[in-house]
Amino acid sequence: MDSADPTAQAERRFEALIGAFLMVAFSDGEFSKSEEYLVRVRLLREQKPRAMTDVEADAIYAKLETEFRSRPDATAERVLALVAEQRGNGVARRAITEAARKALMADRISRTQEDYALNRLAAALGLRDGEI
């Protein structure tokens, strides 16, 4: 991948955002219907890059969901690396932060595991614990 390619950069930002949402959503060991609805109906459509088709957005989501179900720890590490790439991009940081918050609020229950995931995402973005 060419790091100067704007399309590739936008795809990585989108994958980081969807990955951050799923990291929080899966952190408590459950992926609720409300979390699934929010990511599939809202985030995928509202946050996908203009050059990306709905099919491409769905494929990124499906791949991440499958990876979180089969290898949650390794997938979380990969997502954290993608998120860290966005540290210097204020717009992407805000979008990732907002997506993570939406995952927390989707099932209306805050669990310790979700707080831990939020703090790991915050660290990847260069924020302090509790800033997401």
Token pair belonging to 13 = 């930002």
Which pLDDT does position 111 carry in this prediction? Answer: 79
Give the residue extent of every domain in the chain: 6-124
pLDDT for the residue numbered 16: 98
Two tokens at 32? Answer: 């609720």
Residue with tokens 């590739």: 8
- Tell me the C-alpha distance between 21 and 113, whole Å: 14
- Using CA atoms, how far apart are residues 65 and 56, in angstroms rounded to an integer? 14
Contact criterion met (CB below 8 Å) for 109 and 103: no
Structure tokens at 10: 């936008």
- 30 φ, ψ to 5°? -130, 150
pLDDT in tens, the chain (132 residues): 456 788 999 999 999 999 999 999 999 888 988 899 999 888 999 999 999 999 999 999 999 999 999 999 999 999 999 999 999 999 999 999 999 999 988 877 777 899 999 999 999 999 999 888
